[in-house]
Amino acid sequence: MMASVTGTGESVSAASLRRLPSYRQYLKVLQGMGREVVSCSHIGQALKLNPTQVRKDLAVTGIVGRPKVGYETEALIEAIESFLGWNNLNQAFLVGVGSMGTALLGYDQFNHYGLKIVAAFDNNPSLIGQKIHGHEVLSLDKLTDLAARMHVLVGILTVPAQAAQSVANLMIFGGIRAIWNFAPAPIEVPEGMVVQTEDLFSGFAVLSSRLAEVMGIRRKAGVNADANRR
């Protein structure tokens, strides 16, 4: 479906990438408990994942383990962070200081994810100039210049869906290279840029469907697939 970005090298599946943060989270818990080494079987048991899968996922970071023992907890955490680039901070702009934007501005752990929100923007005059969780809200029309001047690479998009593309365009003009998009709308960007769209309700759809299943609610005329054929 999608070619490797490097062209020559093998590619890491998005599925593996998405699990890395949960490994790191759990490893930090173990580290806090003073555990110095950990095996894939142990991690797999804790996170309900197949040990082979864990091993394969961790292998992408280049970590090397010891048979009969596992991996050094600290080295593994560092390998994951280094692989994801979370060991040094990227500056980020956030646009849309509403419910979602405010929540993200209030999240005090971004530095653990290699991210530092350095400015917030909105187009609502009554918000501009206010301080939200320590970040002054700036006017949207300052975004492009400021992004270019500060060499900001990451933009966080928390505006309504219908405004998403127009704000994204400002980010693109400002030289931002990666957009973390919380609006449930696809964003068009030029080659060489990254968009990650988070649709919160995609997860909720899974929950809804599974809930309907366990509650025994029939959702479709003829649950039996064969009976449904004409």
By the criterion CB under 6 A, which residues form the site for ligand NAD? 95-101, 103-104, 106-107, 122-124, 127, 140, 158-161, 163, 166-167, 182-184, 200
Q: How far apart are CA 192 and CA 181, in angstroms?
A: 17
Cβ atoms of 8 and 41 closer than 8 Å: no
Cα first-last separation, the chain? 33
SS (H, E, C) 151-183: CCCEEEECCCHHHHHHHHHHHHHCCCCEEEECC
Cβ atoms of 164 and 185 closer than 8 Å: yes
Give the residue with the Cβ less far from DNA, 59 or 84: 59
Q: Which stretch binds DNA (CB under 7 A): 61-69, 93-101, 112-120, 199-207?
A: 61-69
CB proximity list for 138: less than 8 A, separation 6 or greater: 119, 120, 121, 128, 146
Closest approach of a copy of itself to the CB of residue 203, in Å: 5
Residue 219 interacts with, from a copy of itself, ligand NAD, DNA, none (CB under 5-8 Å by kind): a copy of itself
Our measurement of the distance from residue 183's CA atom to the centroid of its chain's CA atoms, rounded to an integer in Å, reads 14
Binding to DNA (CB under 7 A): which residues in 28-47? Answer: 39-42
Q: In the stretch 158-197, what mask flags binding to a copy of itself with x, by CB under 8 A?
A: ---x---------------xx-x---xxxx-x--xxxxxx
Site size with a copy of itself, rule: CB under 8 A: 94
For binding to DNA (CB under 7 A), which residues are involved? 1-2, 13-16, 39-42, 49-53, 55-56, 58-59, 63-71, 224, 229-230
